Amino acid sequence: MTERPRTPAHRRQLAMAQPPLADADDRDIAGFLDAIWAEHGLARPTLDSYRRDLEGAARWLRPRGTWLADADRAALFDYLAWRAQQDYSARSNARLLSALRAFFGWTLRHGRRRDDPTALLQPPKLPRSLPKALPESEIEALLAAPDDSTPDGLRDRAMLELMYACGLRVSELVGLPATGVNLRQGVLRVVGKGGRERLVPLGEEARHWLERYLAHARPALAGTRAAAPLFLTPAAEAPTRQQFWRVVKRHAAVAGIDPRRISPHGLRHSFATHLLNHGADLRALQMLLGHSSLSTTQIYTLVAREQLKQLHARHHPRG
């Protein structure tokens, strides 16, 4: 009997212990990923997520006598039901179903099969969760936490300032090239999801810390090596998303913020929420965040509304 994966970390350990993928499944998944990358220019993290989900499905289906590309609706339904029994989250299963729909859409377009087994599969209902934004006072404490007398500390301060000032995604921040910054004009050129490019103003504080980083910390981190990324590790490479996560957690602890209440994406949520609280236009916020749809941006109005209700309840005589 397969051991039940209790946590995401445990699931990753079990996944690493899985047997190699069958050749036919491996070829199909690789062909699909190459095709959607060429057609849609999806970012590497998205492609990696698709690969993990599809490989997991293929490994579950193969001992049951079917290749992934030949699976019928009943087999896919059984796999989703098994995942639900293993305590995979509704969000994780919804992401898997999205990957399967994209994969079987590809098999249809390329004549591999004539039907789509995902057509009648219903995605799980997702709980509506509001973005978690920190109060402005805690953001200020977090930004002040790094020791800017060291190259690493100055880099961390510049990264935190830039992420909060520009509302960047983590992947956008760590992947910034040095050529993406125009200090003279005070703007940042960001390539977001789907390869969409946008210009984001830096703001005075972020510009100040970025100038200091470029003048003092980056040359020390790069040494004699030519380096294209804007932000560098001591190995003169771009930091990974996981490395930046650890940076945020470490400085949150210094600032007296419970690390469980903060994540790198929380800085982006805080950027959006604080702008709305100070009267920003929703359309302008959509452009700054790089959202393709205004409905994605509108969730931040709910955050601002909740904060107003809490403020009223706390301070109004009849709250």
| Residues catalogued as catalytic | 169, 193, 265, 268, 291, 300
Q: What does the alpha-carbon distance between residue 47 and residue 36 come to, in Å, rounded to a whole number?
A: 9
**Tokens linked to 221:** 């981190």
Q: What does the alpha-carbon distance between residue 234 and residue 281 come to, in Å, rounded to a whole number?
A: 40
Residue 199: φ, ψ to 5°: -105, 130
DSSP 229: B
- Cα separation of the two ends of the chain: 56
* Cα 51-52-53 angle, rounded to 5 deg: 95
Sequence-separated contacts (24+) of 290-298 with Cβ below 8 Å? 290/169, 290/172, 290/190, 290/192, 290/193, 290/196, 290/198, 292/193, 292/194, 292/196, 297/272
Note whether 69 and 31 are within 8 A (CB): no
Residue in the block written with tokens 């609706």: 73
